[in-house]
C-alpha cells in the first residue's frame, strides 16, 4: 500500500500545484502496454529461455506555464509487469513467497511478493523539472526518483540551451547523475545479498541548424560512465551442466559513447521526412548502428498528425558474452541476450489529434496513440501499444 499512498499523495500535490499556476496547464494521461515473447534468453534462471513479458504502465504528464519565460513540468508513473522468467525464478527460489508471490524480490523492506498486485511486479516513479528562459538562454534543472522491490534510483540533471540567429541555430548541453541501488540474488547461496550501489554520470552536447524553410539538421554526442553493481539482479549463466547455474559477473565500470544525427525535410505543405542515424560504442566491446527513416503527415487542417517509421538496429556482442561457461572461474561472464550479437527490425505508426475547442468549453482536448512491432534475430519479439488523452486548461 505504500506505493499507492505515494502515488495518491503525488497526484494530490500535482493537482494543488496546478490550481496555483497562473496560466495554461497541460495534463496528459498516457497508457502504455507491451507484450513480449521469445525463447532465446540464455540468462533466464531455469534455463528454459522463456522471455515472455506483459507490461501495463499508466503515466501522468503535467506542464504548467507559470509566466512567459517559466514552465514547470513533471510526470508520475506506476507500472506493473509480469513475466515467465520472473515466475520461474519465484517458484524456483521461493524468493517472493513462491506461488503467491509476484516475481519481484523481498529484499526491500520485507514486502515480499511484490505486495500490491498478485502475480505482478510494480514500480513507482516521479520526475519533475523547471524550464526558465532568460533572453536567448534556457536553463532546465530536473530531478527524479523511482522504486521497485529490487531496484531504486535517485537522479538529477541540468540542461542549458543557447539560441542564435533568431532561434535558427541552437546549442544544447546537459549533465546528469543517477545514484541507483540493486538487490541481487545469489544463486549459489540461495538468498539476496542486500542493496549494492550503482552510479551513472553522463554528459551530452547537441546542435541544430535550420538550413532553409524546408530543411533542418541536428547532431549530437554523449558520454556516459557507469560504476558499481552493473549485473542484472537475477541474471545467471549455464556452467555446462543441466542442473547447475552461476550468477552473471560483469566489470564494475563501463564507458559508453554515442553520436547521432537527424535530417528533416519538408516534402510539401503537409508531409515531412525524418532521417535518423545513431552510432554507439562502449568499453565492453559492443558496437551498434541504428538507422530510422520516418514520415509525418498533417491532416484536418493541421489539427492532427499521422506518422509511420521503420527502425533497423545491429550490434556486436560484448567480449564477456557466451551461451554457457564450463568450469566457472572468477571472471566476467554473461549470457544476457541483450548483450549478445543481434540485429533488429521495428515498424510503427502513430497519430495525434487536437480538435478546436468547443464554444461552451474551457478545455482543449487532445488524443493520440502508437502501435509498434519489434523483432530481433536472437528470438525476441514485442508488440507495444500506447494510448493518450490530454487536456489544457
Question: What is the per-residue pLDDT for 339?
Answer: 96
Question: What is the per-residue pLDDT for 242?
Answer: 67
User: From the CB of residue 327, how many other CB atoms can be counted at a distance below 10 Å?
Assistant: 6
Q: Collect the ranges in the chain with pLDDT lower than 50.
A: 1-22, 97-115
Q: If you average pLDDT over every residue of the chain, what do you get?
A: 86
Instruction: State percent of the chain over pLDDT 70.
Output: 87
Question: What is the per-residue pLDDT for 328?
Answer: 74
Q: pTM for the full model?
A: 0.86
User: From the CB of residue 111, how many other CB atoms can be counted at a distance below 10 Å?
Assistant: 18
Q: Of 25, 87, 94, 93, which Cα lies nearest the Cα of 62?
A: 25
Q: Of 390, 309, 324, which Cα lies nearest the Cα of 357?
A: 390
Question: What is the per-residue pLDDT for 46?
Answer: 84
- How deeply is 130 buried, as exposed, middle or buried, from its count of CB atoms within 10 A (0-12, 13-18, 19+)? middle
Q: Rounded to an integer, what distance in angstroms lies between the CA atom of residue 187 and that of residue 94?
A: 12
On whether the CB atoms of residues 198 and 245 are closer than 8 A, the answer is: no
Question: What is the per-residue pLDDT for 221?
Answer: 98
On whether the CB atoms of residues 349 and 371 are closer than 8 A, the answer is: yes
On whether the CB atoms of residues 313 and 290 are closer than 8 A, the answer is: yes
pLDDT in tens, 263-282: 999 998 899 999 999 999 99
Question: What is the per-residue pLDDT for 113?
Answer: 39
pLDDT in tens, 127-171: 999 999 999 999 999 999 999 888 999 999 999 999 999 889 999
pLDDT in tens, 27-40: 999 999 999 999 99
Question: What is the per-residue pLDDT for 131?
Answer: 97
Q: Rounded to an integer, what distance in angstroms lies between the CA atom of residue 204 and that of residue 175?
A: 7
Domain spans in the chain, listed from the N-terminal domain onward: 2-392
CATH class of 2-392: mainly beta
User: From the CB of residue 360, how many other CB atoms can be counted at a distance below 10 Å?
Assistant: 5
Amino acid at each position: 500500500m505504500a506505493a499507492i499512498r505515494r502515488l495518491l499523495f503525488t497526484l494530490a500535490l500535482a493537482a494543488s500545484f496546478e490550481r496555483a499556476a497562473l496560466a495554461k496547464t497541460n495534463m496528459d494521461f498516457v497508457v502504455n502496454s507491451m507484450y513480449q515473447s521469445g525463447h532465446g534468453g540464455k540468462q533466464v534462471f531455469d534455463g528454459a529461455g522463456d522471455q515472455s513479458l506483459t507490461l501495463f504502465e499508466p503515466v501522468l504528464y503535467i506542464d504548467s506555464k507559470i509566466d512567459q519565460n517559466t514552465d514547470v513540468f513533471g510526470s508520475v508513473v506506476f507500472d506493473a509487469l509480469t513475466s515467465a522468467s520472473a515466475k520461474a525464478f519465484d517458484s524456483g527460489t521461493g524468493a517472493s513467497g513462491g506461488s503467491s508471490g509476484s516475481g519481484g524480490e523481498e529484499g526491500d523492506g520485507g514486502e515480499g511478493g511484490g505486495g500490491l498486485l498478485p502475480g505482478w511486479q510494480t514500480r513507482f516513479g516521479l520526475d519533475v523539472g523547471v524550464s526558465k528562459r532568460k533572453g536567448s538562454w534556457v536553463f532546465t534543472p530536473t530531478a527524479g526518483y523511482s522504486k521497485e522491490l529490487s531496484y531504486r534510483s535517485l537522479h538529477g540533471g541540468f540542461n542549458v540551451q543557447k539560441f542564435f540567429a533568431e532561434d535558427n541555430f541552437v546549442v544544447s548541453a546537459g549533465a546528469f547523475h543517477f545514484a541507483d541501488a540493486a538487490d541481487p540474488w545469489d544463486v549459489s547461496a540461495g538468498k539476496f545479498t542486500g542493496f549494492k550501489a550503482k552510479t551513472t554520470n553522463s554528459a551530452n552536447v547537441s546542435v541544430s541548424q535550420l538550413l532553409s524553410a524546408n530543411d533542418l539538421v541536428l547532431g549530437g554526442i554523449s558520454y556516459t560512465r557507469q560504476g558499481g553493481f552493473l549485473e542484472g539482479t537475477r541474471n545467471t549463466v549455464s556452467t555446462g551442466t543441466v542442473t547447475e547455474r552461476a550468477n552473471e559477473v560483469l566489470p564494475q565500470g563501463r564507458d559508453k559513447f554515442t553520436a547521432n544525427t537527424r535530417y528533416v525535410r519538408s516534402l510539401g505543405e503537409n508531409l515531412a521526412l525524418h532521417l535518423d542515424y545513431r552510432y554507439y560504442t562502449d568499453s565492453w566491446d559492443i558496437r551498434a548502428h541504428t538507422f530510422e527513416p520516418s514520415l509525418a503527415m498533417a491532416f484536418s487542417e493541421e489539427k492532427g498528425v499521422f506518422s509511420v517509421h521503420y527502425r533497423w538496429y545491429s550490434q556486436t556482442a560484448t567480449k564477456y558474452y557466451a551461451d554457457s561457461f564450463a568450469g566457472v572461474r572468477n571472471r566476467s561472464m554473461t549470457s544476457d541476450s541483450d548483450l549478445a550479437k543481434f540485429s533488429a527490425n521495428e515498424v510503427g505508426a502513430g497519430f495525434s489529434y487536437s480538435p478546436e475547442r468547443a464554444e461552451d468549453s474551457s478545455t482543449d482536448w487532445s488524443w493520440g496513440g502508437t502501435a509498434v512491432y519489434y523483432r530481433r534475430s536472437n528470438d525476441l519479439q514485442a508488440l507495444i501499444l500506447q494510448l493518450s488523452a490530454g487536456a489544457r486548461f
